[in-house]
Chain A
Amino acid sequence: MPDTPLTSLTAHALLDLLHGGDVTPTEAVTASLRRIRALNPMLNAVIAIEEERALARAKALAATPDRSSPLFGLPILMKANICVAGVPTTCASRILQGFRPPYSATVVERLEQAGAIIVGMANMDEFAFGSSCETSCEGPTRNPWDLERIPGGSSGGSAAAVAADMAALAFGSDTGGSIRQPAAMCSVVGLKPTYGRLSRYGLIAFASSLDQIGPITKDVEDTALVMEVVAGLDPRDSTSASVPTPAYRAALHRPVKGLKVGVPKEYFVGGLDPSVDQAMRQALTVFRQLGVTVQEVSLPHTEYAIPTYYIIATAEASSNLARFDGVRYGWRASGTTVPEMVEGTRGEGFGAEAKRRIILGTYVLSHGYYDAYYAKALKVRTLIQRDFHTAFESCQAIVTPTAPTPPFRLGEKLDDPLAMYLSDIFTISVNLAGVPALALPCGFAPGQLPIGMQLIAPPFGEEILFQLGAAFQQETEWHRRKPTAMDR
């Protein structure tokens, strides 16, 4: 097992060395690439390794005398649905096989301008449709804590890679929990920012009104650090917010005494795995010890969140995926007429879950069904958003589990899509309401299976998340543990 201390460092610790010149970008990148090559056969977290590109960038960076850029030389991974110019960005789907975008996402541009070096593209559920990273056309990613279990999804590759120290941090995307749930299942930190906080330009869309790009990191300090670089208005994204980016790191050391957190009573009804339940209780105790008031709140429309989500998300997904037809890029089936070619391309190029969602989404938008499903769901969404608004009148943040169970086994839920959807219960409302949420490690179930809690804040309340998260990580050691399942 390669023992490279560089790779085990948090981003902020590694950056201290890079800024100080104690470590060169080339050394950092080389260490990262070596670890990827060593562990990826086991984990399948990375589906495109960009060695040449990364080393070239490292060399170029090293040639400049100025080492002060915020992410100078930091090796990072991007989820395979975030466009990196010239790099295969396939959404882990056959239909985008070979697609190299001629442009980079805004977030990628900001990261690279800040000195970060992309070492590869991380595995994911195909088009982000999934909660287990099992629908990828490149094969599933395995959880570094237990190779027979899922890492969570859809940003399973990003989370597993960070947990396995393949990169200093990674980026994923979150539509219904796809950053937070894998972060929790891999014992790393994942943030879904407020809708509009980060630009979506260059994120290959799943559900446009729910998607956000977000960081997956080893600790909350890294989250705050990288968010300062990527957050902010993007004129290329009409839905990006013109809210100034705070100096997020200032929130890391603010005392939390006196803050109020709410615990939604609807989230703690029966069905919660006992290990998750226990880990949550422990976490709440920690907060109380820090002087935080913990009280009950209500999110009355919780039970309608999943149906609402699956109508809106699949409707938007079916629309966003209409462009994949073999005409301009990606997979093309044979066919003597265009309709034949298009149907064949989409039939051959999409996996089962993608097809299922496209059909469901098309159905709920179709003539005669629009009002009963889609229009109805948009109204229920209002009710769900109002629930959060009301709850935040009596607390500054809400605490919940991230996933109802620890990571389950590969293949366990693949044949039952509805069962898979139901596991999104704690994360999904957040996207519907557009509020920010942070997942962070808070314990383990027997067998070293990670459990993560979720902190939710009002719109543009990322600072509160960092404040509470950092305080929690000062008091606990969960986030410092490293997986050992890969040691043989």
Chain B
Amino acid sequence: MEINQQGLFDRVAKIMELIERMQYKLSDEELEGLMNFLPPDSRHSLSAFFESRFRDTSIIFLKAISNWILRARIAPEQGKKAIIVPFNFPVEFIHGFSKAYPITSEVLSTLGVVALEGQGERYWDMAMGLGLPDHICSSNTIELGSMLGSVDFKPQAIVSAAPGGCDVNAKIHEFVSHYLDIPQYILQKPPDDSERGMEAYIKYTNTLISELEEFIGEELSEDRLRSVLGKANRCTELYYELWDLHKARPSPVPNIFSLYIYAIRFSIWGTDEAITALEAMVDLCKKRLEAKAYPAKEERARTLWVYTSYYFDFPNLFNWMEESGYSHLGDGLDLFFPQPVDLSSMDTMVEGLATAAWNMPMTRQVGGESMSRQWTEDVVHSARELNADCAIYCGHHSCKQTWSVVSILRKELMDRLGVPLLILQGDSWIRKMTPISVIQHEIEEFVNNVVSSKKKTKRKLRKRRQNNNQQQGE
């Protein structure tokens, strides 16, 4: 096989083998030695995980993710069906089957961008080579492009929860299903916030279960599902602990944890590894809270990213922001607000799965009856709860649904909370479109000219009011 025909999954899995062998505690010298084995792009991106202030926790997280990848690789040998799912599908659904294993395309694309030399560009180009338009979404096209154009791990089916939430992802899933000649199972979201909409969604969920049972050749076991969802419930508790920790000023939650939370949600939610990683994150944040540890001199701005972040340069986004005093309070992909599942019967658990799918990011917001209403409500709620000073929209060019209504979100945020929204433009997974230096510059200008001056105006107003009160008192 020619080297440039190697698929993304196989290459990522090789990097994951290294992580699997890594010790839980690494000194700076050991880390330096290890990183020297990696090519420049991989070394640069992966370095973001190993900042000394959260290195140990990152290693626990990375080992959990590498374990997920490596188990997917051997799944077919073990008689398990490897099923591609999108990020907006609750993976615990597939973990509930003993003979199936979920692989999330967006997580794989992101891992490819982070861990591979040349990032994911080769695979994007393979998809473009088929004539696919350049305005489709790199988040899943990078991984799916690898499946279409290289010698790579081949899944046995696709489950798509994109219809109703995202046209472009739904189309790519359909395309890949036909091109690779593998079955596609759909969970469509009615754009209907009423009880009738939820009833229909539960019906669709039940149909999907039946279809998957037939395909996998296994009836969904009540005991196994209860065990998986019990673990998912523990993940939910830990999610809200992290949510509460985010509220403190300065934020004790490292910026990159925003990403860890949803990486876990999209891949291993409902597993022991997810619980271990989330517990480690909570522990670290509690320690930081107690020690009032913050990597910059002061927390200059608390930013809420309203949809995705950028994933092609972690050190220069998450870590740079933190070191500049800009807290990343999470992004739109963290807004899945999980609810504890009632484990008392199969029916309640299936309903819990449907509710989880309904509340997955994107489905919950732009898959709603209105594309802007729930999105706005979630962002306003989060900005208020987490004391955000400002919001940032990454402007991933493929997100036509959010681009369609971001003007409404911006107006509502300003009208209701006085929180300004910075609208950026770029591709979240491809570094060529908007370089990270431009993104950094825009964030700095926004904080310096809009957020800080807004704070100063508030302070001046407060001072003036105090002076007036004093004068009146005299």
Are these two chains actual partners, yes or no? no
User: Which residues of A are interface residues toward B (Cβ below 8 A)?
Assistant: none
Which chain B residues have a beta carbon within 8 Å of chain A's beta carbons?
none
